[in-house]
Structure 1
Amino acid sequence: MKRRATVICRRGNRILLVARRQSKWALPGGLLKRGEHLSDAALRELKEETRLAGKSAKYLFQYRGAQKLHHVFFCDVSKRAKPRASNEISRCRWVQVEDIPRLTTSAPTKVIVKISGEKRNSSRGK
């Protein structure tokens, strides 16, 4: 099973999604390079795909999809930074969390966003 660093960037109630040409929306991220640390892969992929420099990558959880093991990170980015599609990505945008179930996304994207919201809400109650 391939290991993937998957990134959640959040601004209030919006999450950053990316898409390749003629493809479904997904969370930024990608496969690890040989010998690369997970958090470094998360920050590298975010920068390669959106030109955003993450301040840090906080590990959240892992999710096993059909073909990939997603290591999910939260990356904090500057509030003024604007994502721009780069590398193999043709579009990126901030999406309201409640709109994600209605979008055409990769299957893991919807599940990962849902889990991250549940974990976020349960940590607030502590």
Structure 2
Amino acid sequence: MSRRLAAYALCLESGRVLLARHRSGNWTLPGGGVEAGEDPFDAVTRELAEETGLVGAVERLLGVDSRLIPSAERTDPSRGDHQNIGVFYEVRVSSGQLRPEANGDTTASVWVPLSEVGGLRRSSLVDVGLALVRNRPASGHVPPVPVDGRLLHH
């Protein structure tokens, strides 16, 4: 089984959330893999800048999500099961201009009204992040988000 540690930014502004469009066409939160020796706290603002062109500051830790993606639900089932451990932060954007990621997987980043998120084909990470910011559980954990239809693992 493979495993990945990632950090994700939940950026809210005027009733909108910042989403990044992956090259697959699915929407997700800005964020990504924590590099060897890197603190997730630093990774989230690095990933935000790389993927969106925006500079942000962490305001608070929202929580941690761990999900197992069975091999049968992966793009390449021969790669086996995969565990994604995501650290979610509330991040305030302070400057920058939205742009696609240079030589990366993010083709666009946009501010989406919260009322429109449910209609998007998106990663379950979006719903986990929104549940964490909405409920602010003391445990930093929300129930698993069921994946089907418009809601995907990636």
What CA deviation, in whole Å up to 9, does each residue of 1:101-121 have, x standing for no partner?
11100122223212322229x
What CA deviation, in whole Å up to 9, does each residue of 1:45-90 have, x standing for no partner?
0000001111335311111122311100111112x64322223211
The structure 2 residue matched to 1:19, chosen from 15, 18, 21, is 21
* Equivalent residue letter for 1:83: L
Matched, 1:75 2:91: yes
Distance in 2 (alpha carbons) for counterparts of 1:85 and 1:54: 16
- SS of 1:53 mapped into structure 2: strand
Distance in 2 (alpha carbons) for counterparts of 1:82 and 1:97: 21
> What is the number of equivalent residue pairs in this alignment?
119
Q: Where does 1:50-65 land on structure 2 (aligned, <5 Å)?
A: 50-56=52-58, 58-65=60-67
| Larger helix percent | 1
Task: Report deviation, 1:24.
Answer: 0.6
CA-based RMSD: 1.8
- SS of 1:55 mapped into structure 2: strand
Please, which runs of 5 or more residues in structure 2 have no aligned partner? 69-82, 138-154
- SS of 1:49 mapped into structure 2: helix
TM-score normalised over the length of structure 2: 0.70
* Equivalent residue letter for 1:82: Q
Distance in 1 (alpha carbons) for counterparts of 2:24 and 2:40: 28
Whether contact under 8 Å (2:64, 2:87) holds in the other structure is yes
Task: Report deviation, 1:23.
Answer: 2.5
TM-score normalised over the length of structure 1: 0.84
* Equivalent residue letter for 1:28: P
The aligned counterpart of 1:3 is 5
Whether contact under 8 Å (1:5, 1:31) holds in the other structure is yes
Distance in 1 (alpha carbons) for counterparts of 2:115 and 2:136: 16
- SS of 1:63 mapped into structure 2: strand
